[in-house]
Amino acid sequence: MPVDTLRCRVCEAEYPAVASGTCVRCFGPLEPVYDWEDVASRATRARIEAGPRSLWRYEALLPVPAPRDAASAPGLTPLLPAPRLADAIGVGEVWLKLDHTNPTHSFKDRVVAVAAAKAAELGTETLACASTGNLGNAVAARAAASGMRSVVLYPSTVEPEKMLQTSVYGAEMYAVHGSYDDCSRLIVELAGELDWAFVNVNLRAYYAEGSKTLAFEIAEQLGWETPDAVVAPIASGSLFTKLWQGFEQFRQLGLVSGESPRLYGGQAEGCAPVAHAFADERPVSPVRPQTVAQSLAIGAPADGDLAIATARASGGAVYAVPEADVGPNMTLLASTAGVFGETAAGVTVGALRSAAAAGAVGETDRVVVLVTGTGLKTPQVVDARAGTEISADVDELLAELGVTV
């Protein structure tokens, strides 16, 4: 087994590597404990490059063994340059990590792949979660592919495109009259009653580790170098903190040259508890979400304070992006890079713009921007332009085109 111990991040109490996400002594979060000598012997550049073309090429740095279908798993998504977006914002280089190309079109396929592998190891037959949309898609799809039952709780306000995708995979769905935080509370209560694999509750220690693979892939795809900065959305804060952990682990193992990058996070103004706490230099206080960026609408982020500490340790920052800018930022990304990202991407591009305006990133920086989901799931906030109607007549078409023959 890659990991046989979990350790509390707060009081350092240790537990066996079973389905448990919270310390019973202090209620702190649990994290896997790795044998770093063993990891160093297995996580070499050569072995990674020879591994499956998925996140399981980093098996030595993950808490569960790779499943039999490792080659068809999510991960190893494209990292592409976006020079026109860089010019528009005033940054030296911008690279886009296209995680909307994962099987259910979001980065959540990564975390669910690791949690589901642990669920299979434990012999659990039901995969469940509370979700703001993308996680439910990933849980339902992974369960369908594995022959498992899936149960998903959503806020009833989640975009219909996301609900439809979860439905088509055959999940049992419950639309809760309340926020994501209400759904999360219900799932925590259920986890105390049912022997299910709740990916973001009792399997959270394993689930969260999947986010590190984004950092691993970025470094490998840049030729085993780290970028100067990475910009990511913040919801619970887990993705943001695990990015930093991933870069640090690669650096400590000697797999990359250069320091770990500065991390910049973004939240939409209507649900920005981490951004406001960062700006005010205080602990995170819960808020009631009122935002178009529903995939980021977590008012009581579990890793919010750790996200602030991560931003400061990396030399980065966390920004609140105006709600009115989210849609135009999605359009900017699409019109300069040919990438249609969801509302979370609109927030991330907004954070990049804020960092550039503050002088935190500039013309000498190589910056990676995470595109964590597809805009096809959140088209409502983008202004759609209808085409000009014409007759099936070439002369009329030429006139509309302004062409004189």
pLDDT of amino acid 1: 58
pLDDT at 99: 98
What is the rounded distance in angstroms from the CA atom of residue 299 to the CA atom of residue 290?
A: 9
Range of the domain at 225: 79-104+209-381
Of 307, 385, 381, 306, whose CA–CA distance to 350 is shortest?
381
Residue 295 lies in a domain: yes
Residue 162 inside a domain? The answer is: no
Please tell me the predicted confidence (pLDDT) of residue 384.
77
Query: Does any domain span residue 146?
Result: no
- Contact between 257 and 223 under an 8 Å Cβ cutoff? The reply is no
Contacts of 290 (CB under 8 A, 6+ apart): 270, 271
Domain membership flag for residue 371: yes
CA distance 287 to 139: 27
Which pLDDT value is given to residue 326? Answer: 98
Is 69 within the bounds of a domain? no
pLDDT of residue 23: 87
Q: Is residue 173 part of a domain?
A: no
| Look-up of token digits 């040259």 | 257
Does residue 120 lie within any of the structural domains?
no
Q: What are residue 13's phi and psi, to 5 degrees? A: -65, 145
pLDDT < 50 regions, the chain: none
- Tokens 């990049």 belong to residue: 352
**Domain with 276 in it: what CATH number?**
3.40.50.1100
Structural domain count, the chain: 1
Answer for the pair 339, 370: CB distance below 8 angstroms, yes or no. no
Q: How far is residue 165's CA from residue 144's CA, in Å, rounded to a whole number?
A: 12
Is 124 a member of any domain? no
Cβ–Cβ under 8 Å, residues 398 and 392: no
pLDDT digits (tens, 9 = 90+) for 4-30: 999 998 999 999 988 887 888 898 889
